[in-house]
Amino acid sequence: MLPFKLIYSDRYYLPIGDHVFPAEKYRRIRDRLLSTGVAEPGDFVEPEPATDQDILLVHTPGYVQKLKTGTLSSREEIEMEIPYSRELVEAFWLAAGGSILAARHALADRISISIGGGFHHAHRDYGEGFCMIHDVAVAIRRLQRDGKISTAMTVDCDVHQGNGTAAIFAGTRTQSAPLPSVSGSMLHPSRPPTMRGAHSGDLFTISLHQHNNYPLYKPPSSIDVDLPDGIGDTEYLAWLDNALSSGLRQFEPDLMCYIAGADPYREDQLGGLDLTIEGLKKRDELVFRVARARDIPVMVTYAGGYARDVEDTVTIHSNTVIAAKEVFQP
């Protein structure tokens, strides 16, 4: 048995047809974890969908109404980049329920991983970039409402900036001091990682992403590390270490929400960084070691991953569970 729970449902599957987002990845990750003996059936917990009340902690009543009644405009549906259906709405409500459950189990066991979620491009009143509902924001607000946590830190390592996270928490985000430079960094001097500040509050948002990629407009996180094209494992890990250290010097979260996108991978169709599968596992280990050393519970969601070979995406996401197992074993 794993010393933590994996949150999963067959109904995480997104009914979006033939799409660059491999909607079957969730089931394939579950199957891989079982077939390789990393996990046992008893390690998995099935979530319930979030309630409308939960969703409304983050999203506007008008948007929720449109989703529930199928009345998005065609422009809104195009912007979401996934085809609307009643079943798709149910899958996103379930993803949000899964993240709430993962956050609760993280508080109990120090870590929990939802084999889904991480829809970090969803905004309060519209969806974009394959994201309808911001499951992580819903989980944070629900646990705050229940009095389980006061503060949270998002650590977003998807290759695309967490624009939904930044926008949703704009009013309650903590401002960061500038990041110290990484010694020996070979980042292009004309485009160094930049820091942008915001307001003081109960959230601290960190995003490490490729600068020259979607979304075009990147609303400010507490720490944005705008990485240049093509950086590899060593530099990426140095900047992640730097951002985590800097963030945790300034802010003590009750919960860390790690968005473990697989798309910084060098073979990703929608990414332009050069990380290896081994480097991505080291990334996961770094986040987990830092959280464990400081006794901060971590909930993990999976976000994007568009490797040319979907098996690589499955490997990267499965390795996140292996990394957690190695770091959090008693």
Under the binding rule (CB under 5 A), the answer on residue 233 touching Zn ion is no
Closest to Zn ion by CB, 47 vs 261, is: 261
> How far apart, in whole angstroms, are the C-alpha atoms of residue 283 and residue 159?
13
Q: Hey, what are 6's tokens?
A: 């994996």
CA–CA separation, 255 vs 1, rounded Å? 24
Q: Does 158 bind Zn ion (CB under 5 A)?
A: yes
Contact region with Zn ion (CB under 5 A), list: 36-44, 157-165, 246-254, 322-330: 157-165
User: Which residue lies nearer to Zn ion by CB, 12 or 214?
Assistant: 214
**Beta strands across the sheet bearing 5-7:** 44-45, 5-7, 111-114, 298-301, 255-259, 152-156, 203-210, 223-227
Q: Give whichever of 66 and 120 is closer to Zn ion, judged by the CB atom.
A: 120
Q: With beta carbons less than 8 A apart as the criterion, state whether 187 and 217 touch.
A: no
The distance of closest approach from Cβ of residue 264 to Zn ion in the complex, given in angstroms and rounded to an integer, is 9
Least distance (Å) between residue 160 CB and Zn ion: 4
Question: Is 117 an interacting residue with respect to Zn ion (CB under 5 A)?
Answer: no
128 scored as a contact of Zn ion (CB under 5 A): no
The answer to whether 268 contacts Zn ion (rule: CB under 5 A) is no
DSSP per-residue string spanning 161-180: --HHHHHHTGGGBPP-PPPP
Residues in the interface with Zn ion (CB under 5 A) total: 5
Task: Report which DSSP code applies to 300.
Answer: E
Based on the shown chain and the rule CB under 5 A, indicate whether residue 162 belongs to the binding site for Zn ion: no
Cβ nearer to Zn ion, comparing 174 with 320: 320
Residues lying near Zn ion in the complex (CB under 5 A) are found at 158, 160, 261, 263, 304
